[in-house]
A and B are shown apart, each in its own frame.
Chain A
Amino acid sequence: MIRFTDVTFTYAEADEPTLRGIDLAIEEGELCVVVGQTGSGKTTLLRAINGLVPHFTGGRLSGDVRVDGRSTREYPPRELADVVGVVGQNPAASFVTDVVEDELAYTMENLGIAPTVMRRRVEDTLDLLGLHELRSRPLSTLSGGQQQRVAIGAVLTASPRVLVLDEPTSALDPAAAEEVLASLTRLVHDLGMTVVLAEHRLERVIPFADRMVLVPGRGDPLVVGTTADVMATSPVAPPIVELARLAGWRPVPLSVRDARRLADPLRRRLATVPAPAPAPAPVLEPVPLPVAIAEQLSVSFGEVVALDGVDLQVRPGEVVAVMGRNGSGKSTLLAQLAGLRKPTKGTVHVLGQAPTDLPPRRLIKQVGLVPQDAGMLLYGETVADECATADHETGLAPGTTAAMLETVLPGMPMGHHPRDLSEGQRLALALAIVLAPAPPLVLLDEPTRGLDYPSKYRLVELLRKMAAGGDCIVVATHDVELAAQVATRAVVLAEGEVVSDGVARDVVCHSPVFAPQVAKVLAPDPWLTVDEVRSALAGAAP
């Protein structure tokens, strides 16, 4: 269906080719997952499929890319629109109209399809993606997962035979991501559509993938093979695969079920070593006073009760993971701690004062909040500009924010516009701006959206370092792996109430929803991360 023959591509300003000598064939009805680190050339590879590379980007391409027998050399992207549908990272960026139905019809209007056919295809697509209840809703009122499904529907109405998706879930929370991936597997299995998907969130995709393409970057040759083969050596891998490598399981298991079947010897071996330490919480003497205290905190938006009688204390050195489903009150709790809104009932105190009483300039030195959409903090024209503004507004010495950025993520492109950054880079920038005034309480709302494994790892390191330095960190997250790695305490919210609050290991291990992959594989023993298992085995090595 898709055939790359000796394809080499170089961007106009680059010295080295981004893709070098690529030979790749993707057959009809395959779900092919493209993995690789940020900047390795995944996007370039995907965009070459429908000719956006080089027709849109410019640059030099040799070799041949054929889709359904048509070469991108002779067919510009617009003449491949009936064969290849492309969906990007941020669905809202691709919307042209305001209403779901209109958006679905828009592509067909451009292709000049007869109204009766259009009508039928809109209906088909609504059913296929389960959007019929949303048909007349304005796009702006949809959740992220719904928006992304509409974006997929909008390209499906042209009835393409290939669907290319570039990190379609990286701007979504896990529930929404699952929704989108479920729709995709349905398209592959029910319609035999060919799907090429670049993805960071591998733990959810790999059980469904037929084949995997690893883009190592720097123009190195692609690694192509079955998912298990590629995962055995891939530098980006979900925890389950890392555990498999550590334990030497072959073939590499791709789901928790497969891994559990292989895990018996490992479990028995681990039973001989001491169970992991309860929690790496630093015990400071004397026990420090809490930095943030919420007492009987209730917040209502009209009829809706977002928080209901929440009691919470956060002490220096703690990393508190606030978990719970969408709408359980996680973001509202962070907003309260950050003083964005007065509580309806109860009190919030940060360092002995209600944050809503503090003038903004003092508040940002006490509480730092990184919102879910990090771009909301960014309105400068370049990264450097953004850093300078932050220094100025907080009264810091010029260069402080830039220096902080260098520790968070070295080598940021300072001349870029914030919107041209990747999700990870944008988060790093927002984080640097928030952290520069050194607030003792740092709040992060869903900070791992769109981060690849190395960026996530760097974030974990940074949070650990901050906690060790005595900062308090509250992270609202769906990402159980993040919670497993950094949290000392976990608080689970449901319907605005705290349903469990305790040492992170106890809380997450005993929940089927919040347990990380390693814990699920090694249950009932309370192991959380691959690193723990690795160091335990190293200590127990004969």
Chain B
Amino acid sequence: MSPPTLGSPPTLTSTAAIRLRPRASVLLAVTSLVGAAGFCWPLLIHGRATANLAHSADAPWLFVAVLPLLLAVVLGELAEGSLDAKAIALLGILAACGAALRIPSPGVAGFEPVFFLLIPAGRVLGRGFGFVLGAVTIAASALITGGIGPWLPFQMFGAAWMGFGAGCLPPAKGKAELVLLAGYAAVSALLYGTLLNLWFWPFGAGTTTSFSFVPGAGLVHNLHSFILFDVTTSLGFDIPRAVTNGALVLVLGRPVLAALRRASRRAAFDVPVVYD
């Protein structure tokens, strides 16, 4: 029997299954900044400083080494105190489902539904939960699919931001909410693809082609090269992925949101425990 007060149907769009306390928020912001630098440094590097250019070959590897540590610190801080048994249970189940969703993705024409669960979950359970779920889902799916490599921390960051962003969307209800989430799913899947290309680009495109990264060539030149690189190599993969993810949210979003809201209502995340 459920306690009689779990009553009224959900009116809130989001709870906070993992509360972001001030210290965790600051840490998350700083880490995200470093993460962003890890992605964007090729565009931002200052051309005239030769000392910078000298490191342009080993910079990606520096970030590969640093980002997992940073992620570990953030996840550790989030877990400290504010992650209770209920949140862990939900996190475990959703991450497992997310990871399982990655198995059937054949990689053909970008059908990769791994983000589909992440977005409704971030929406319903809050941005802190979305962040952790994104990171954990990718890590778990990498273990299953053998996808562990230097790209993993970048993928984890990308998915974590995606979940975080889903928790930050403005309030909306019914069809409007579905459209909002589907739009977000499509756009964020596209962004995710672009970001990961950005990480891959400096060494993935060699040094000699017309869309290669040229250290110190300036933002405009490199941005132009990067866009060329992005469009020619992976947009044919990223756009179908964005479309499938958006469509999945449109079609299956309603029951998934309802199930998540019911779980979050029963787990009573927002209800304080008071001892007199």
Contacts and interface: CB of A to CB of B under 8 A. Distances in A.
A314 B203 CA distance: 82
Given A11-B3, A12-B271, A18-B4, A420 B86 contact: no
A43 B267 CA distance: 16
Interface in B243-276: 255, 258, 262, 266-268, 270-276
A417 B262 contact: yes
Main secondary structure of the interface of A (DSSP, over half): loop
Interface in A1-50: 8, 11-14, 18, 38-39, 42-44
Contacts of B4: 11, 14, 18, 39
B1 interface: yes
A327 to B, nearest CB: 30
Contacts of B208: none
Interface in A32-73: 38-39, 42-44, 53-62, 73
Given A78-B85, A420-B266, A166 B258 contact: no
Contacts of A58: 268, 270-273
Interface string B4-28: 1111110000000000000000000
A420 B4 CA distance: 10
Given A58-B268, A62-B275, A416 B7 contact: yes
B9 A56 contact: no
A422 interface: yes
B274 A420 contact: no
A73 B276 CA distance: 10
A89 interface: yes
Interface residues on A, range: 35 or more
B142 to A, nearest CB: 24
B232 interface: no
B6 A420 contact: yes
A166 B3 CA distance: 12
Nearest to A54: B273
Contacts of B273: 54-55, 58-59, 61
B124 to A, nearest CB: 14
B274 A61 contact: yes
A381 B3 contact: no
Contacts of A11: 3-5
A166 B1 contact: yes
A475 B268 CA distance: 39
Interface residues on B, range: 20 to 34
A60 B270 CA distance: 13
A446 B272 CA distance: 41
Contacts of B3: 11, 18, 43-44, 53, 57
A73 B275 contact: yes
B209 interface: no
Contacts of B7: 13, 413, 415-416
A420 B2 contact: yes
Contact of B1 (A53, A167, A415): A167
Contacts of A382: 9
A43 B1 contact: yes
B86 A56 contact: yes
B54 to A, nearest CB: 51
* Residue with the highest number of chain B CB atoms closer than 10 Å, among A55, A59, A382: A59
Contacts of B258: 381
* Residue with the highest number of chain A CB atoms closer than 10 Å, among B3, B8, B274: B3
A513 to B, nearest CB: 31
Given A381-B258, A415-B9, A420-B262, A60 B2 contact: no
Nearest to A166: B1
Interface in B1-59: 1-9
B1 A59 contact: no
B1 A62 contact: no
Nearest to A58: B271
Given A11-B3, A43-B1, A382-B9, A57 B271 contact: yes
Contacts of B262: 417, 420
A381 B6 CA distance: 15
Nearest to B270: A58
B271 A62 contact: no
A419 B131 CA distance: 30
Contacts of A77: 85
Contacts of A44: 3
Nearest to A72: B275
Contact of B268 (A57, A62, A415, A422): A57
Contacts of A13: 5, 7-8
A310 B103 CA distance: 52
A56 B268 contact: yes
Nearest to A73: B275
A13 B4 CA distance: 10
Nearest to B274: A60
Nearest to A414: B9
B12 to A, nearest CB: 13
A44 B274 CA distance: 16
Nearest to A61: B275
29 contacts: A12-B271, A12-B272, A13-B5, A38-B1, A39-B1, A39-B4, A53-B3, A54-B274, A54-B275, A55-B273, A56-B86, A56-B267, A58-B270, A58-B271, A58-B272, A58-B273, A60-B276, A61-B274, A62-B275, A62-B276, A77-B85, A89-B1, A166-B1, A167-B1, A381-B255, A382-B9, A416-B9, A417-B262, A420-B266
